[in-house]
Chain A
Amino acid sequence: MDNKSFIRGVLDALFFEKFFLFLFIFFIAFFYVTFSIPIISTGDGGELASTGFTLGVPHPPGYPIYTEISKLFTFIPVGNIGEKIAILSVFFAILTIVVLYKTVEILGIDKKAFYFGASLLAVSYTYMGQSLVIKFYTFNLFFVAGVFLIGVYFVKRGYDSRLVYVGSFLLGIIVSVHHLGLLITLPLFIVGLFYSWRFLKDLLKSFPFFVIGLLTFIHLPIRSVKEDSFLFTLVIDWDYFVKYLLRKTYEKSTVDTVKNLYSSFDSYLYSFNNVFEILYKNFSWLSVLLFLIGTIFLFRKDKKLGIFSLTTFVIYTFFLGILAFKVQNPSLNDWFVIGHQYFIPGLYFYILIVIAGLGWFYEFLKNKNFSFVYRVIPPVLAVFPLIYISDRMFDMNYGTEYVPYSHSKVIFGSLPVGSIYISFGDNHTFQGWYLKSITGFRNDVCQLKQDKTDGISFTLQGCRPSKLYSKLFPQFFKKGDLKFYAEEDRLYSIIPILKNSPYSKIYSSELYIYSFRYFPKQMETVEREKLKKENLNMENRVFQNFIDCVSHKVDEPFSKYLCGFLTEYYLYLAKQKEPFISVNDITFDIKRAYTMDYIYRIFVNVKIGDENFVYVWRAKALKGYNKPENFFYFGENGE
């Protein structure tokens, strides 16, 4: 072979490699966008869209970088605000896969193994799930993976104090991305100790860069004073600012979580069990073998790199499990909020080691001159995990998920002009903020956020600016009087009044579509009849929500929970229109748990006839299709 053709061969190979990489990455990008949420997602989605669009302040610790970058995404000239902010999650999920590629390259692992690992990660339940919604977990992972890459450079290319400074600066930045990102400090520190005094000296010198990284938090006080920004809360005094950063405004702050580290041996076992369940359910047993080989391979390649990779994996899986997930039988909420969100970095580092294991196998094939097998197996294995796409089409197809939006529209759209609506819990509150305050849909309504069921106190984010709303709701703003609005049929809440409710002495409540109308005790039967008529007239308003609830293809407990409200409404209609005599009847168990000791539970028995058959059928369809307890991680326990 002459020199020219050799060079051409190398160029072709390089081009082919890059072309294939681009093709692979762009395929995942297309696939993710198609499956991403079309408006807003449940949980924090509504809040993050609201604060992102307005450069506002979300819940502690305030996530300034996520907020500002999500604002940049709202300038995309296609789609709506929520949809565009969801693209941010997709964008960083893809970039993280590119960082994975770069890490594999620097670690000197056969790059063909990357494709198998990246496909497996991309179609895994949790990684894909967090890449399609309005959440900061893929954004956070991108930074964690980036800092890990710096650590790999550090070990591979030899000591360089600049890497210590850059790492320190990025750690400061990471604090404002997500507090869990900071866990990467531990493995970085361990690796640094290999270089003893030099590292410790540079570490001290790098501290100012860490502080400069923290300056991103200036966003909070500046945006708190702006009228155009939507605020979870005002962060303007120093003490509160510090509390906010450390999440001390919550019952359990970040500091308390760390104190939680020392615990009984049993709880360590529970944590191990829970984390193992996450890894197993995402990647199956087969990957464990590759993981073990990968660990040995990395240690044999370079002890420092082995220690660094394994420590990072342990920190983001079992150590994090001890901090946040050491319950014996995690509830559905625990699985969804902690298991399905916090452990994405753990999944990433697990896959990195799996790739190393497969890389060793490929090297073995290459060295033993199994050239045919070496050429055939990698492409087959690269696309093999993509068979899971068929699963994801039915549990992660967020492209079909309109429930949170249409649910909120039914609630706000049915309220009389100038009403007060009391929301409870993240779902109803955050979605309400987005719909009412940001899009302006029925912003004549004053939305109050109630945090506890055993007291009457509110936060007013959904009724700001108070100088405007106090003109429409003077009795509430000047005297804190709600009774006036109850008398005028203008007081609604998502919480029913039960016996142990602090409202029970003054008010009683009746179902109004999905929420409850509060009215003074002495309200006449005529009023109840009027309410019944109004409820019967709202059938058309819930229709789109019904379609959304029976056609979404997402395994999303919060959405399924929201669809339960519609089941109850259809049962109400069925009950109102039930035949006088019927041989068929059915009993439904309706339950809404607000807190541990505030549970609304009713058994509705309905006689079935031609008059109400359609409502009973719809209620049954909704209940059958939306069982939150069938959640991916919870399935076996739930059943």
Chain B
Amino acid sequence: MVSNLKEVSVFVILLFFVLLASLIVKNYRLQQDFFEKGVMYENEHKLIPAVDAYERVILAYIPFSSYNQEAIDKILLICDKLNSYDKLYCYETLRSALFQIQSFYQPYGELKEKITNKIIDLRTDLYIADLKLENKKEEIHKVMEEITKKEFNPDKFWSFLVPLCLIGWIFSIMAGIWYRKPYFYGLGIVFFSLWLISLYMA
């Protein structure tokens, strides 16, 4: 039984690494492909399609890949060239792409903060210009800031604990039943309590 469990664990870990390696290969191809497309669109002066293509380079994020930074730089250069709603679209695209590539950490966190501030200003200016509300600039800026900065993003540490504790208490109960040892039930209760706490804290 124990050797079986060992075998299964080794297999699951190996499978995970195969999936990870496959994901890297897939994303690297995507990065190459969309970067080339981005350059092509830029040369054809199709700036918005170029932003969309570079966005996909970022979405296929691989740590330490040179394409990440190059795509970000390209988008930032294009954003500078655009005006009004196109400029907003450009920055929004970059910010949402950066948000989507987070894992244990947020890559390019500082840049994301900087862009968020630009987006707040742009949203405020466009809203005021559209509705002719020049006298309410400060009030609107504050509302835009609150909304733009709102993120549905649970705490990383606690939300990582949640699934681990869930797996922990499920396996402990099963081990308790199988080996008929109260020790496992105790462990199950510990994991279950931790699961509840982390669910609430996340």
Instruction: Flag whether B183 is at the interface (Cβ < 8 A).
Output: no
Do residues B154 and A226 form an inter-chain contact, with CB atoms below 8 A? yes
Do residues A33 and B151 form an inter-chain contact, with CB atoms below 8 A? no
Given A34-B22, A72-B163, A78-B27, answer yes or no on A440-B173 (Cβ-Cβ < 8 Å): no
Q: Which of A193-201, A463-471, A589-597, A622-630 contacts B (4 or more CB under 8 A)?
A: A463-471
In the bound complex, residues from chain B placing their C-beta under 8 Å from that of A173 are 170
Mark interface residues in B75-96 (1 if CB within 8 Å of A CB, else 0): 0000000000100110011011
Do residues B123 and A444 form an inter-chain contact, with CB atoms below 8 A? yes
A206-247 CB contacts (< 8 Å) to partner B: 209, 212, 215-216, 218-219, 222-223, 226, 228-230
Do residues B177 and A166 form an inter-chain contact, with CB atoms below 8 A? yes
Do residues A417 and B151 form an inter-chain contact, with CB atoms below 8 A? no
In the bound complex, residues from chain B placing their C-beta under 8 Å from that of A488 are 130-131
A29 to B170 alpha-carbon distance, docked (Å): 26
Instruction: Flag whether A337 is at the interface (Cβ < 8 A).
Output: no
Instruction: Flag whether A140 is at the interface (Cβ < 8 A).
Output: no
Instruction: Flag whether B39 is at the interface (Cβ < 8 A).
Output: no
Contact residue among B15, B97, B159 (Cβ-Cβ distance under 8 Å from A29): B15
Closest A residue to B151 using CB positions: A440
Do residues A166 and B27 form an inter-chain contact, with CB atoms below 8 A? no
B114-161 CB contacts (< 8 Å) to partner A: 123, 126-127, 130-131, 143-144, 146-148, 150-155, 159-160
Do residues B96 and A439 form an inter-chain contact, with CB atoms below 8 A? yes
Instruction: Flag whether A358 is at the interface (Cβ < 8 A).
Output: no
Given A55-B162, A402-B56, A442-B92, answer yes or no on A215-B192 (Cβ-Cβ < 8 Å): yes
Do residues B166 and A65 form an inter-chain contact, with CB atoms below 8 A? yes
Do residues A209 and B173 form an inter-chain contact, with CB atoms below 8 A? yes
Instruction: Flag whether B59 is at the interface (Cβ < 8 A).
Output: yes
A223 to B56 alpha-carbon distance, docked (Å): 32
Given A54-B152, A91-B19, answer yes or no on A79-B163 (Cβ-Cβ < 8 Å): no
In the bound complex, residues from chain A placing their C-beta under 8 Å from that of B63 are 77-78
What is the interface of chain B mostly: helix, strand, loop, or mixed? helix
Instruction: Flag whether A80 is at the interface (Cβ < 8 A).
Output: yes
Instruction: Flag whether A110 is at the interface (Cβ < 8 A).
Output: no
In the bound complex, residues from chain B placing their C-beta under 8 Å from that of A520 are none
Closest A residue to B12 using CB positions: A95
Closest A residue to B156 using CB positions: A75
Do residues B159 and A71 form an inter-chain contact, with CB atoms below 8 A? yes
In the bound complex, residues from chain B placing their C-beta under 8 Å from that of A82 are 100
A547 to B48 alpha-carbon distance, docked (Å): 13
Contact residue among B19, B23, B89 (Cβ-Cβ distance under 8 Å from A413): B89
A162 to B1 alpha-carbon distance, docked (Å): 14
Q: Which of A116-124, A302-310, A537-545 contacts B (4 or more CB under 8 A)?
A: A537-545
A412-454 CB contacts (< 8 Å) to partner B: 413-414, 416-418, 435, 437-444
In the bound complex, residues from chain A placing their C-beta under 8 Å from that of B18 are 26, 29-30
Do residues B19 and A87 form an inter-chain contact, with CB atoms below 8 A? yes
Mark interface residues in B9-44 (1 if CB within 8 Å of A CB, else 0): 001101110111011111100100000000000000
Do residues B92 and A413 form an inter-chain contact, with CB atoms below 8 A? yes
Instruction: Flag whether A482 is at the interface (Cβ < 8 A).
Output: no
Do residues A472 and B26 form an inter-chain contact, with CB atoms below 8 A? no
In the bound complex, residues from chain A placing their C-beta under 8 Å from that of B101 are 79-80
A155-188 CB contacts (< 8 Å) to partner B: 162, 165-166, 169-170, 173
A78 to B101 alpha-carbon distance, docked (Å): 7
Interchain nearest-CB distance for A105 vs B (Å): 12
Interface centre among A53, A409, A440, A547 (most CB of B within 10 A): A440
Chain B interface residue bracket vs A: 35 or more
Instruction: Flag whether B194 is at the interface (Cβ < 8 A).
Output: no
Interchain nearest-CB distance for B66 vs A (Å): 15
Interchain nearest-CB distance for A415 vs B (Å): 9
Do residues A55 and B60 form an inter-chain contact, with CB atoms below 8 A? no
Interface size on A, residues (CB 8 A): 85
Interface centre among A36, A78, A165, A209 (most CB of B within 10 A): A78
In the bound complex, residues from chain A placing their C-beta under 8 Å from that of B178 are 162, 166
In the bound complex, residues from chain B placing their C-beta under 8 Å from that of A440 are 95-96, 99, 148, 150-151
Contact residue among A39, A69, A95 (Cβ-Cβ distance under 8 Å from B163): A69
In the bound complex, residues from chain B placing their C-beta under 8 Å from that of A351 are none
Interchain nearest-CB distance for A75 vs B (Å): 5
Do residues A471 and B146 form an inter-chain contact, with CB atoms below 8 A? yes
Do residues A416 and B130 form an inter-chain contact, with CB atoms below 8 A? yes
A68 to B165 alpha-carbon distance, docked (Å): 10
Mark interface residues in A389-424 (1 if CB within 8 Å of B CB, else 0): 000000000010010001001000110111000000
Given A216-B166, A218-B196, answer yes or no on A468-B61 (Cβ-Cβ < 8 Å): no
Closest A residue to B154 using CB positions: A228
Instruction: Flag whether A568 is at the interface (Cβ < 8 A).
Output: no
Do residues A80 and B150 form an inter-chain contact, with CB atoms below 8 A? no
Given A38-B59, A209-B177, A417-B130, answer yes or no on A543-B46 (Cβ-Cβ < 8 Å): yes
In the bound complex, residues from chain A placing their C-beta under 8 Å from that of B85 are 414, 416
Do residues A544 and B49 form an inter-chain contact, with CB atoms below 8 A? yes
Mark interface residues in A139-155 (1 if CB within 8 Å of B CB, else 0): 00000000000000000
Closest B residue to A548 using CB positions: B52
Do residues A165 and B177 form an inter-chain contact, with CB atoms below 8 A? yes
Do residues B19 and A226 form an inter-chain contact, with CB atoms below 8 A? no
Instruction: Flag whether A365 is at the interface (Cβ < 8 A).
Output: no
Closest B residue to A54 using CB positions: B152
5 A-B pairs with C-beta separation under 8 A: A26-B18, A54-B153, A173-B170, A440-B96, A444-B147
Extra contacts, 8 of them, besides A22-B14, A437-B152 (Cβ < 8 A), are A68-B162, A78-B61, A79-B59, A95-B15, A166-B178, A173-B170, A471-B146, A541-B89
Top 8 nearest A-B pairs by Cβ distance? A33-B22, A439-B96, A441-B96, A544-B52, A72-B163, A80-B100, A540-B48, A417-B127
